[in-house]
Structures are given as structure tokens and as C-alpha cells.
Structure 1
């Protein structure tokens, strides 16, 4: 187990909506429930995006489509080695504070557990093998296995009810590191493959890519995250990746 008293957490729903509202104040227009059906490329340069709402012309396009990033890249004629990996999570009803005083994470046990500020305990497990499709249904097998792990580690949770469970897709790469930067199509950029770390890395990743696109020197050099590294066999391996 690892513990650090400066580690923090944030609500992903509140954070997402906060970013959306901040973007709107800067003039960003958000089209919800809009499918990308094609990338417009002329003379080796991106011109815009074809969508279910029509064509959107743009001088710069960023592929940040998460688990669908490989398909969006292919629309521009680019191949990236990403794949989607389904993860399942469950959350319990609120229990007394301190039942789980810090985030628990086990590499050998393949699980993570944390008590939320309002008392509920959220926990999940990494999947075994790759899913064969984009099926997002959560399973009884996960509920049974995760509940058993929770009760064994935290006996005070025995008998509590599970409030809900759900699943979602990780956008994975061969080295579990993101792909950030320009491509062989001029002004078409990648910001993909965060492999489960996207919520943590998104603020700085967005900033340094924006700096690069705007012609400024990024605060952090991200050239090693070029998608071509895989063809060169230059994987960025970390010993502790969750």
C-alpha cells in the first residue's frame, strides 16, 4: 500500500461542468449529442469536421475523443495503437466517517477503494483482458467480487447496501501513457490515450497543448509523447501505473 497525506480528489461531474461553464464564458460553443462523422483534410492540412449537425470548418482540430480516438484519427488517415478497456465501479450508501480513512489501492489485488466526503465508499477493479466491443453494461460478477473484497478489507462495511454501479471505457495505449501533439496532417492534433489518468493530467495537458498551438513555448516539454514513438519502439514505461 502507498499513502501520501497531500494526495487529493475531486468530483468528476462537478469538475466537468465547471470547465464547461468556464469555457462558455470565454466564448466556446458546445454541441452536445453531436457525432463526428469525418475529418476534412485538403492538401495534407485539416480544414474542419463533418458532424451529425453539419460541417464545422476550423483551422485547427484536436482529437480528444477518448475511447473513440482511434476511429477519429483514422478519419484523417492516421493510425494510432489505442484501444478501449472497460472498467467497472460501484458506490455504497453513506456510512460513518473514518471507515476508510485513506484511499486504498493494491497492485497485486487489482482494486482501489476510497470513502467520499459524504460517507459513501467508492471502489473499483481493473478488468481482466480486453473487451471485444464497446459494451458499457456493468456486471453481476463485478458486484459480487468487489463486494467480497470490500467486506474482507473493511469489516465494518459488511451488510451495507450498494447504491449503484456503472462502467466506462479507458482510452488505452501500449505503454499506458498519453499521445499528445501534432500529426502528419497539418493542424490536426492528438490529445488521447490517457489510460485512466486523464482526469488528473487534463488541466496541464490542455494548457501545454494550447501553448504549443498558439505558438508559445509549452511550460513542459511533451515531445516524448508523440504518437510516432510506438513505431520507433520507444515506449515510456513506468513501474507504478494504475
Structure 2
């Protein structure tokens, strides 16, 4: 029977980062199993945003650590990820959001995040395309931005391979062999892999993988759609990622055009990846309502991907108490890509040293749902 020290399930940003950080620590034989191809799942469909503006301390600290990677990716991995740090600009139209964002802003600045409150006049200067007549204000962090998810994930995967990690594409997990309450092996169409630890990094498929071990992991897939315009020169390419928080509409420069999207609050859970023409029309209407200049733009293409959503919009990071030898890093509810570097490092520390020291991730323990200790993240797009 084949043996490995660690088996990682999923080769998106999370799985590749965990693999890299384990290999960097010389953690033994590491195998990554991917049902599709490296970086071709939810990671490939992500909008690529990276931000420091969160409402919970753990997420802010994960972002701060991840930014140490994003801002020095070329030096560390030899890969240009197309990082654009033009900021995130949140637009607020409801009084209750103003109060919540001001509280979050106080937390962010106490942790060293260079975010600030902006009045409508400054919003118009930062983002001249938007209407400001109904805005109560907003927040802006110039260090935020976006980059290319596929290139970044392949950077981690390539570095992991150079350290001896074995990747197996088109190799789904079909089950687990568990004796008592201890994991013995991971099952695949190619046979069993006996291992000391398996880490579920399966993104939107985490709930399905958990069921193979008899677990109910509260991670549910929801469709999200993105669209890109044809080349569009009427808005500067240096404007920030702009988010109308009430509607979840967002848009930012992408190549010669603009990328935009908006979540559907009535979207049912499931694995439907088709583009909904009706929701596309609703999204375009919202974009043109907030930024009328886009009435002159044309859509080049659209696609659908998945958010992996949990009840408190925060991830499951850590060992699974019910089964020794099984761990999880999933359920990031739309901010997994941006936290990939930090979570990989923290998971390696947790698995090898018994505790994560770079960031205290205990608040995101998978057991919190069973214990009723949810921690709600408010800044979800």
C-alpha cells in the first residue's frame, strides 16, 4: 500500500499553500489530490481581490500576514502575479452600515491597517465614475487591491513541487478508511494512500468530501457570477476596487476593460455553474445605476464560480475533533484566495508544532459550530 505523511485534498490556492508550507518545513512525503486540475476550481473563478478591510480580528491578521506574500511574490516565487494596489473603496448607503463600518475601521486601524473613513466628496475624487448623491460615506484602504488567482496558485504549486510535493490531477477522493476514531487511509480510484494526516482543502466540495468520512461540515456552495467588459477607456485604470455594500455590487479594472459582479441574495445552494442571463441583466442595471458611464460599455464575457459559505461567513481551519488525523481549511465564504498564503502557513504550524503561532486561528476551529460559538464576519461581498 502506498504511504504518505500528509495527503491534501484539493489543489486550489489553499491546498497548494498548505502543501508548500509543509514542504518548506521538510514535513515528509506530501501528496496533493485534485479532482480536476491545479488551480482550475473555485480559485480560477475568483475575482482576485485582496484586502485588509474585515470586521473580525482573525481575518484582519490573516490578511496582514498574506500581504507579506502578495507584496513580495516575485522575490519569493519568481512569478509576476499582476498585483494592482489601487485600494478597496466601500460605498455605504444605510445608517446601520455606517455604524458597523466605523466600528470595523477602529479595529482595523488599531491593528495597523491604513484604512480611513471617506466622505462623498473624497469618494468622487477616488472614483469619479460613481454617483455620490445617496452616499453616507465609505471606507478606503490604499493597500488593498487585486491580482491573478491562477498565476498565484501556480506559483505556490510550482514551489511545492520543487520541494518534493507530488500532485495528482484528475484523482478525486472516493472515501476514507477510518478505524475507531482514527484516519488510516484516503481512498482514490488509483488505490489507498495510508497517511498520518489528511487535510480537506476542497473549497465548495468540502461538504461532499466530509460526508465520505461521515461528517457534516457546514460548507455550502453558492453560485457567483463575474463579467468583463470590452476595452473601456472612459474610466481610469487606476481607480480602486469599488463595492456598493448594500447590493454587493463590485467592479475594478481588468486588463483593458472592467470586471464586475454582484451576489444574488436569493441564489439557492448547489453546483450550477451556468451564467444566468436574468441576473446578468440585473447586475448590469446595478452597475449603470451606480456608475452611469458604464451604459456605454459592452460585455465581453461572463462566467460562474462558487462561494464556499458557512453559517458565520468564516472558515473552518484546524483539526477535526471527531476523527484523529483529519483536518480542514475551507469555507472561506468569498475571501479564501486572499487568505491562502497565511492559512497555509498557519496550518503547517498547527500540524507540525501543535499550535499556529503566526496568527491565532483558534476562533475558526471547526468545532465552533457544534459548540455554538459562531463569529460573524460582516464585510462579505
Q: Same fold (TM over 0.5)?
A: yes
Partner of 2:173: 36
What is the rounded CA distance, in whole Å, between the counterparts of 2:274 and 2:268 in structure 1? 11
Between stretches 38-47 and 205-214, larger displacement belongs to 38-47
Q: 2:348 aligned with 1:232, yes or no?
A: no
Partner of 1:186: 324
Q: 2:295 aligned with 1:158, yes or no?
A: yes
Q: Which of the numbers 346, 354, 357 marks the counterpart of 1:208? A: 346
Structure with the larger RCO, 1 or 2 (CA within 8 Å, 6+ apart): 2
Structure 1 vs Structure 2 CA RMSD: 1.7
Q: 2:192 aligned with 1:50, yes or no?
A: no
Residue aligned with 1:194, SS:
coil
Partner of 1:69: 206
Residue aligned with 1:199, SS:
helix
Is the 1:84–1:171 Cα contact (8 Å) retained in structure 2? Answer: yes
Q: 2:367 aligned with 1:220, yes or no?
A: no
**Distance 1:81-1:217 versus aligned 2 partners, 3 A rule:** closer
Q: Which of the numbers 249, 254, 258 marks the counterpart of 1:111? A: 249
Please list the CA deviations of residues 101-133 of structure 1 after superposition, one character each: whole Å capped at 9, or x if unmatched: 1111012122111112x2220011112234253
Cα distance, 1:239 vs. partner?
A: 3.3
Cα distance, 1:73 vs. partner?
A: 1.4
Is the 1:49–1:55 Cα contact (8 Å) retained in structure 2? Answer: yes
What is the rounded CA distance, in whole Å, between the counterparts of 1:51 and 1:131 in structure 2? 30
**Distance 1:166-1:123 versus aligned 2 partners, 3 A rule:** same
Partner of 1:27: 164
Is the 2:251–2:258 Cα contact (8 Å) retained in structure 1? Answer: yes
| Aligned positions, number | 241
Is the 1:111–1:126 Cα contact (8 Å) retained in structure 2? Answer: yes
Cα distance, 1:181 vs. partner?
A: 0.6
TM-score, with normalisation over the residues of structure 2? Answer: 0.60
Is the 1:99–1:154 Cα contact (8 Å) retained in structure 2? Answer: no
Cα distance, 1:156 vs. partner?
A: 3.1
Residue aligned with 1:35, SS:
coil
Cα distance, 1:196 vs. partner?
A: 0.5
Written as runs of structure 1 = structure 2, the 5 A alignment for 1:57-136 is 57-96=194-233, 98=236, 101-116=239-254, 118-136=255-273
Cα distance, 1:99 vs. partner?
A: 6.0
Between stretches 94-103 and 184-193, larger displacement belongs to 94-103
Cα distance, 1:25 vs. partner?
A: 0.8
Cα distance, 1:68 vs. partner?
A: 1.1
Please list the CA deviations of residues 22-81 of structure 1 after superposition, one character each: whole Å capped at 9, or x if unmatched: 111111111112211102212321122111332222211001111111121122222222
What is the rounded CA distance, in whole Å, between the counterparts of 2:209 and 2:202 in structure 1? 7
Structure 2, unaligned runs of 5 or more? 1-90, 92-138
What is the rounded CA distance, in whole Å, between the counterparts of 1:130 and 1:3 in structure 2? 29
Q: As a proportion of its length, which structure holds more helix?
A: 2
What is the rounded CA distance, in whole Å, between the counterparts of 2:163 and 2:279 in structure 1? 42
What is the rounded CA distance, in whole Å, between the counterparts of 1:132 and 1:4 in structure 2? 32
Is the 2:145–2:241 Cα contact (8 Å) retained in structure 1? Answer: no
**Distance 1:172-1:31 versus aligned 2 partners, 3 A rule:** same
Partner of 2:282: 145
What is the rounded CA distance, in whole Å, between the counterparts of 1:49 and 1:90 in structure 2? 38
What is the rounded CA distance, in whole Å, between the counterparts of 2:156 and 2:279 in structure 1? 32
Is the 1:85–1:127 Cα contact (8 Å) retained in structure 2? Answer: no
Residue aligned with 1:3, SS:
strand
